[in-house]
Structure 1
Amino acid sequence: MNAPHTDDTLIAPGLRAFLQRIVDYAGMFPPADLPLHEAMENFLSYRTEPERWMLNRFVVPTKRLDELRPFRQAIASNPPVGLSVLGQGGATVDAFLEAFTDDLDRIDTCIEDHNSHVRPDVMEVRLPTALLDPFEAEPVARFLEAVDSTLAQHGLAHLDIFFEVPLTDQTASQLPQILPAFASANANQPVPEQSILGLKIRCGGMEPELFPSTEQVARAIVACRNAGVRFKATAGLHHPARHHDEQYEVMRHGFFNVFGAAVLAAEHDLDVDGVSAILREENADTFTFTQEGMQWGPLSASVEDISHSRAALAHSFGSCSFVEPVEDLRALSLM
């Protein structure tokens, strides 16, 4: 990026806690659609920038992990590279588990190829659609046990998995029944070797119908908060505040909105209406970050509260651009 930036020591502690390792760089995906080699070059470059503290993992499909081999030397000369890998998934449980075994084989090979200088410690993958229509708790519990058993067989018990459930009115209403199964599976994990399950929320895409409503996102955040399950977001969160997209004629969600709503929902026990109000906010300046923490309207959270919510609830978001969020924050005089 190499653009002028605010002295790192002047960044408000509330903002630093809020944005710490918040961006999973997904440069290979739309609308950027960069070749893998260019996306990885960008990622390694961003790790030298003053804003590197905002950067989290590199997002790559498991089927393309072998394409990282040309970067072995570059990766080995830097701190280990964290990867969030996209699993192949499957519509049925059997199809999922077959693809999942192949995914784990590819992860094993990648770790060996790079002598552990890469750390594929997060997977994003769709929950089999067969488990959602109709939803029944027992089949989901059996599925999660099978996933855990497969992980153990591969010696990858440390791989966290965020299951994507496409947000519709129906699935959003099902999350209060689905997520307790994730929480139960997490509670039964041994410490310290554990694979923590979470929810992946898709906030946009290349079609208007892929943008969930504020109420659907709010229901997902509240359901995660109530179940004690983390979420990560993806798609559409390039800019801080909610705004109109002229290309798709939709309202895009902002990362201040989604993650601010999660932090304040955790701190103030907000209901769906309360979370929705934060998600609808279109003025980024109403989110203020200070030495003490953050505030939106009458609601506030301390630096410690923000850090806890980011660790326990609001994990990160995938973005095909790391530059755009940083430039927007500079334009707001926050960095």
Structure 2
Amino acid sequence: MSNSSIEARIALVGNPNAGKTSLFNALTGQNQKVGNYTGATVSRKSGTFFTPHGNKFELIDLPGAYSLDPNSPDEEITRNVLIGDQKDEPTPNLILCVLDATHLERHLYLLIQVIDLGYPVVVALNKTDNAEAQGLRLDPTALSERFGVPFVAISAMTERGITQLKQALRHPFPSPPGRLWKGPVELEEAIKRSTKLAETNGENNPAASGLMAVAEESSKAKEFIQKTRFEYIHRAVEVGLQRPDEESLALTDRIDAHTLHPIKGWCIFTALMITVFWSIFKFAEMPMGLIEEGQETLQEWVRGFIGVGDFQSLIVDGIIAGVGGV
């Protein structure tokens, strides 16, 4: 893979199971290269592909990450590459973010974190065929307007929309959209100071390093940033995603809507457990009564058949009574 012929480096990011590997294979085909990140056992996979405009790009498949607040070695590698802290790994020119359309709201948090890093971003809205089958109606145009980055509907498994995605990866790339949320004056001033310090220290991505430093140093700032991001995502989803009406849902989906509810679900679970225990004792009364009557009848018959003595006591009071008690 000759770096001289590569016009730009694109980082492929996404949650685990978002279809990132399928998209990587669909874009690069057999032009892949596998290795390891310096000082880590996490594998590094890269490949090249051409766009319809004739541009040759290198695509780096970063480890799956739910968030850029790392809780695993994979997430730490992804975070470090994007902020320029990974040894021997230059920062990308653009980020291609893969989202699972069937779990859109959950996956958008990683996107908004990526946008905060200050890179040009293109979104591959994957599994749209599965979303449509579930009755979800997505509006990529509305989502693009909300997040300020292109959203391209694709299905990596069937390679639907791959050509349109390549066309969205035009070079030169568009300007970064910038941060979508704003904090109070004190927080913005702290971010500004932290970014300036990162510039002075020669950080590869001062804006990203400055923002992350503020969040790491202040739990109050971190909580505010997370809350503000989630609020922005919620408003965006209200515009860009239409869920099916209750009547059009399958029976299992309607049941799930109630049983998986954070409040109603526990009420239903408690009611079911009480019903199960009550029914065990209530419905057991009839067979228990029949068993007791049968036991007494058998004991009387044995007493009349076997004369009084130790052997009768063994059969009547020992074996029959013991089996009946069980």
| More helix as a share of residues | 2
Say yes or no: TM over 0.5.
Answer: no
What is the TM-score of this pair, normalised by structure 2? 0.30
Compare relative contact order (CA 8 Å, sep 6+) and give the higher one, 1 or 2.
1
Bigger Rg over Cα = 2
Higher strand share: 1
* TM-score normalised per structure 1: 0.30
